[in-house]
């Protein structure tokens, strides 16, 4: 790891100003992805700008037909939140199965989305629920936010402040976890709501993505049986020592059936 400066701004404006002054700087959420990346020498920011002191990034609340979660909310806080459990229980369940207790107590919603690991859990929920990512300067629809492996629509000095999740009629997440890290070898989040049926897949491909064949089958009939015989193409899926593309395609169909069954 190389030397770096450290700042802990007291408000959002000061954090963004610090990032604009340090073009090689990086925001620090819970450090559960950024610090490992720095230790591996894959990133060497000149300055870390900690977001943990920003009140603007805190809080969980329901506003009309949306659940709003501050970007600085930890995975453990989401998992334990009575508001989240009532509004979107699948989201609390997802957060409670991220990594281990240390990761859940430090890692944040905003950090997970900004990092956009292709095997991360939250991106599947954000995409399937048709959520909106709110930043210090704009609102970004989930369909436009995720742009490829570790690639998002964020500008380098842009801070995620919150995520607005439309309340679904039904939603569930099923994950086949890597036994060591608990990252998704394959995870499927299924949601039905005002925007119709949306199915998002994580872990299987180079980036979180929606599955057109699964959405079509579930739009016709929202039941696990509707997925019998639906083929998930293996083309473009990850092929690595943890699983072949064909195995991952098989798992996508299995996880989708489990998620729909869990919707009740
Ligand atoms: C052992 C281990 C197991 C894990 N298992 C899982 C798992 O099962 N599922 C899963 O989904 N994840 C898993 N993770 C990743 C974990 O969820 C991280 O918490 C998350 O990826 C990053 O969140 P963070 O707050 O720690 O962000 P950081 O590591 O601090 O930052 C990550 C990136 O996001 C940027 N950033 C942080 N916050 C913001 C913000 N508000 N606005 C803009 N940019 C921001 C940083 O500059 C950096 O580029 C695991 C991690 C570890 C170490």
Beta bridge partners, 146, equal 152
Average pLDDT over residues 33-49: 96
User: Which pLDDT belongs to residue 23?
Assistant: 82
Query: What is the C-alpha radius of gyration for the chain, rounded to an integer number of angstroms?
Result: 18
CA–centroid distance, 59 to ligand 1, in Å, is 18
Instruction: Assess contact for 157 and 16: CB atoms under 8 A.
Output: yes
Measured from the CB, is residue 114 less than 6 Å from ligand 1? Answer: yes
For residue 67, pLDDT beyond 80: yes
**pLDDT tens digits, one per residue of 208-253:** 999 999 999 999 999 999 999 899 999 999 999 999 999 999 999 9
78 CB near ligand 1 (under 6 Å): no
User: What is this structure's pTM?
Assistant: 0.97
CA nearest to 113, candidates 44, 208, 42, 198: 208
Ramachandran angles phi, psi of 175, nearest 5°: -130, 140
Q: Does 51 sit in the ligand 1 pocket, CB within 6 Å?
A: yes
> Is a pLDDT exceeding 80 seen at residue 188?
yes
């Amino acid at each position: 790891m190389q030397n770096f400066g450290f700042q802990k701004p007291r408000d959002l404006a000061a954090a963004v100003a610090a990032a604009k002054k340090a073009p090689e700087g990086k925001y620090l959420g819970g450090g559960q992805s950024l610090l490992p990346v720095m230790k591996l020498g894959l990133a060497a920011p000149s300055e870390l700008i900690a977001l943990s002191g920003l009140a603007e990034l805190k809080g969980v609340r329901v506003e009309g037909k949306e659940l709003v979660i501050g970007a600085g909310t930890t995975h453990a806080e989401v998992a334990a939140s009575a508001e989240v459990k009532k509004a979107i229980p699948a989201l609390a369940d997802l957060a409670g199965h991220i990594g281990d207790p240390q990761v859940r107590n430090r890692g944040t919603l905003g950090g997970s989305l900004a990092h956009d690991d292709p095997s991360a859990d939250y991106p599947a929920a954000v995409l399937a629920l048709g959520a909106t990512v709110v930043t210090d300067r704009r609102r970004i629809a989930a369909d436009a936010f995720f742009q490829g492996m570790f690639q998002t629509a964020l500008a380098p000095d842009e801070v995620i402040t919150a995520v607005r999740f439309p309340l679904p009629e039904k939603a569930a997440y099923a994950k086949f976890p890597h036994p060591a890290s608990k990252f998704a070898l394959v995870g499927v989040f299924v949601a039905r709501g005002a925007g119709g049926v949306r199915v998002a897949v994580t872990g299987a491909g180079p980036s979180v993505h929606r599955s057109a064949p699964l959405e079509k089958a579930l739009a016709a009939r929202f039941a696990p049986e509707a997925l019998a015989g639906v083929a998930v193409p293996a083309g473009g899926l990850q092929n690595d020592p943890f699983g072949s593309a064909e195995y991952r395609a098989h798992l996508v169909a299995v996880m989708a059936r489990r998620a729909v069954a869990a919707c009740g």
